[in-house]
Amino acid sequence: MKQWRPTSSGIWQGRDDTAEADNARRLFQTVTCSTTFCPEQQAGDIALLGFACDEGVKRNHGRTGAAEAPAILRRALANMASHVQHARLTDLGDICVAQDNLEEAQQALREAVLACQRAGKRTLVLGGGHETAYGHGLGVLDAFPQEAVGIINLDAHLDLRHAPQATSGTPFRQLAHHCEAQQRTFRYACCGLSMAANTQALLDEAAYRNVTIVEDLRCLSSPAEAIAQLEQFMAHLDRIYLTIDLDVLPGWEMPAVSAPAALGVPCAILMQLLAPICRSGKLQAVDLVEFNPSRDRDGQGAGVAARIAWQVIRWWG
């Protein structure tokens, strides 16, 4: 796989507290790092992949920089405490884009995710722009062709754009077209959506696609009602692919994205939404996308994103 590269050996580093106690460990001490892409040979059941790409953001006229995110997010995760659930994590390196060929990179991610899923792993992908979702989603759909796979997108945006080529704004329209071609139902929920950030054309497309929408205002005013909507959506699924666009968070909490949210869903509420998804027993794949290190302030955004990833791993039933 020419687009694949192993994670640099200097990424996973942190403070060593094992002189205190044998179980005073951090993620850098428990993660397994593979120098080859052989998911079937790895013991852990969560495969970590990076998608070092922001070509889709560039095509969507956004602020580039997300291609550097996988390395930065690994560094932020490295020094966090490792509880028993985190020892399941295996780092299988990055898929990279070559010469702006987004479609080739997405296909490489699709193949890598499919290989991991067929090896009995669940996939945690660190993007990259939201173009990550097309490759990741295809890999999950490929792995479970006879099952009801649903997509939950925590995002201010629907990302159902119509465009002449793939961008960070088109992944779910592309996945919808793929499902049509495969004669399978497109099951998609967008939670945290900002009505102010989505045109009527996008809302019409969502209605046509029978998309479940949970607005940001609903999440803020009544998290319990938002959770109930998500649980109703999940009830009819066999597998869940969860994608977390970090611009769902408020701009003051997550400045390091292409399009910071004027309102957004604070991390504390986002955690309430994540818990039932992670504990559902159906969660098969997760990604975090749109983190842009070049827009970060004192590592604030990296810390928030890493904490979300850390919590997902801990809750992943």
Write out 126-187 in H/E/C secondary structure: EECCCCHHHHHHHHHHHHCCCCCEEEEEECCCCCCCCCCCCCCCCHHHHHHHHHHHCCCCCE
157 annotated among ligand-binding-site residues? yes
CA distance 248 to 253: 10
162 annotated among ligand-binding-site residues? no
The secondary structure of residue 297, as a DSSP letter, is S
CA distance 310 to 216: 23
CA distance 26 to 37: 24
142 annotated among ligand-binding-site residues? no
By the 8 A CB rule, do 109 and 287 touch? Answer: no
61 annotated among ligand-binding-site residues? no
182: which 2 tokens?
A: 């495969």
Where b means 16+ CB within 10 Å and e means fewer, 17-46 reads eeeeeeeebbbbbbbebbeebebeebebeb
By the 8 A CB rule, do 106 and 166 touch? Answer: yes
Contacts of 89 (CB under 8 A, 6+ apart): 27, 30, 31, 32, 44, 46, 48, 124, 313
285: which 2 tokens?
A: 């794949």
130 annotated among ligand-binding-site residues? yes
- Give the residue ranges of the annotated binding site: 130, 155, 157, 159, 245, 247
Residue ranges at the known binding site for Mn(2+): 130, 155, 157, 159, 245, 247
